[in-house]
Amino acid sequence: MNLKTITLAACTVTALLFAGCEPASPEPATPVAAAIAAAYFTKNRPAEVPDLIKVKPTAKVGDQVSFLARIGGRSEPFVDGMAMFTVADPSLLSCEVMGEEDHCPIPWDYCCEEVNALTAGLATIRFIGESGDPIAANAEGAGGLAPLRFVVVEGTVGDRNDDGLFVVDADRIWVGGRPERGSLRLGSLAGEENANIVHDHHDHHDHDHDGDGIPDH
Greater model confidence, 16 or 184 = 184
Residue 209 pLDDT > 50, yes or no?
no
The domain defined by 38-175 carries CATH number 2.40.50? yes
pLDDT score for 101: 66
With 0-12 CB in 10 A as exposed, 13-18 as middle and 19+ as buried, what is 180? middle
| Full-model pTM | 0.78
State the pLDDT confidence band at 102, using cuts at 50, 70 and 90. Answer: low
| Mean pLDDT (the chain, rounded) | 83
Residue 36 pLDDT > 90, yes or no?
yes
**In this structure, what are the phi and psi dihedrals at residue 183, rounded to the nearest 5 degrees?**
-145, 75
Residue 205 pLDDT > 90, yes or no?
no
pLDDT score for 175: 98
Residue 58 pLDDT > 90, yes or no?
yes
Domain edges within the chain: 38-175
Q: State how far the Cα of 113 lies from the Cα of 76, in Å rounded to an integer.
A: 16
